[in-house]
Homo-oligomer: A and B are copies of this chain.
Amino acid sequence: MKTYQTMSKDELTSLKTDLEAKYKEFQGMGLKLDMSRGKPSAKQLDISMGMMDVLNSEVSLQCEEGIDCRNYGILDGIKEARELLGAISEVPADNIIIYGNSSLNIMYDTISRSMTHGVMGSTPWCKLDTIKFLCPVPGYDRHFAITEHFGIEMINVPMTNEGPDMDMVEQLVSSDDTIKGIWCVPKYSNPQGITYSEETVKRFARLKPAAKDFRIYWDNAYSVHHLYEDQQDFCLEILEECEKAGNPDIVYKFTSTSKISFPGSGVAAIATSKNNLADIRKQLTLQTIGHDKVNQLRHVRFFKDLDGIHEHMKKHADIMRPKFEAVIDILEKELSGLGIASWIKPRGGYFISFESMDGCAKDIVSKAKEAGVVMTGAGATYPYGKDPKNSNIRIAPSFPTLDELKQAAELFALCVKLVSVEKLLEQ
């Protein structure tokens, strides 16, 4: 097979004509598909419907400690929910506080609290001229949107196969006290599906930040979200590593059941050191009288324990795996060997990260859109929406049905080819 780069102008021109004809066909099909967000499909949600039956008017809504979950109170969350979410987060129940339905909301609140009240007694960030965050790229757009919203300057840190470039992280964090945090998705990262290596986690735990109020924002969104039972990534538990390294307070871990039970109606939590929890409680006790304990109880009664979670996640995997494989197969079949694209085959998480030729991502995404397939906006995986090479595209295979997905992936591959040819012809 010839790579596009070695083709002559004539070959490219003729190829372009073929591809344009195929594209027209797709346009005629009136597709309306969405591969933009990491949104579970209806079929995945159906496997949690039993959760709607565990509580009813005949059942006691008291938790194990005898507290009436219907009433006010219990700021930290009921014990059995702290145990369950603690197990998912690999921390003791005493190191976790359960919030509402959204871990994103916890992250937002964590930054917001640091802005107005600082971190464990530090100067509130809003009183400082400059605040910076490190952002491993490509990364999660909603993380970057939060820091941008608060006027926090974002610094790109390239991802490697083992996680963020730790030489750069160490150098920056130890030398600049305006750097107050780093966004991390340590397991099956968004969008690359990379899991941080043991060495990376250990280096995080051993960081010596110039800023006392520097924290690692460890968004463990996909901790139990494997695609293959026999090929699971393992990520070292960071809270314990930080403790061992004499850095007990340096990390906030975030987790939720959004992609375990129902995305809109799960439970989310923060896991961190007792010092950090005490600091958080000072604010939380003013912010709310307590989060939804009935929903916590519903989750525990349905999932029971970590084994129950793992069993449940196998069902998700059974639905997700064929979708990931279908996209990867189509990418392999259509694009491999052409020298115009690369991608990572993940073992878990919600995304496939795709690299086009430099300068092509935006055009590919808009071409796909014109033919009815919505992708995540090009650039979204970078702070400020600015992908310096304009090459990264996040593919989210979860939401469409398998048949729709195959069509969408075929169209996507076609758009990649077409835009690449156009690009090469311009040169």
Contact = CB atoms under 8 A, between A and B. Distances in A.
A146 B42 CA distance: 40
A126 B57 CA distance: 47
A102 B149 contact: no
B52 A53 contact: no
A262 B108 contact: no
A286 B142 CA distance: 7
Contact of A116 (B73, B115, B142): B115
For this complex, into which size category does the number of interface residues on chain A fall? 35 or more
Interface string A106-129: 001100100111000000101100
A1 interface: no
Nearest to A105: B288
B72 A45 contact: no
A145 B286 contact: yes
Given A102-B290, A112-B116, 19 more contacts: A37-B72, A39-B72, A40-B71, A49-B57, A52-B55, A52-B57, A70-B262, A70-B263, A71-B263, A73-B264, A100-B100, A109-B287, A116-B116, A126-B126, A142-B286, A263-B289, A264-B289, A264-B290, A264-B292
Interface of A: 37, 39-40, 42, 45, 48-50, 52-53, 55-57, 59, 61, 68-74, 100-102, 104-105, 108-109, 112, 115-117, 124, 126-127, 142, 145-146, 149-150, 258, 262-265, 283, 286-295
Q: Top 9 A-B pairs ranked by shortest CB distance? A: A265-B294, A49-B57, A126-B126, A70-B262, A108-B287, A72-B263, A105-B288, A45-B70, A102-B288
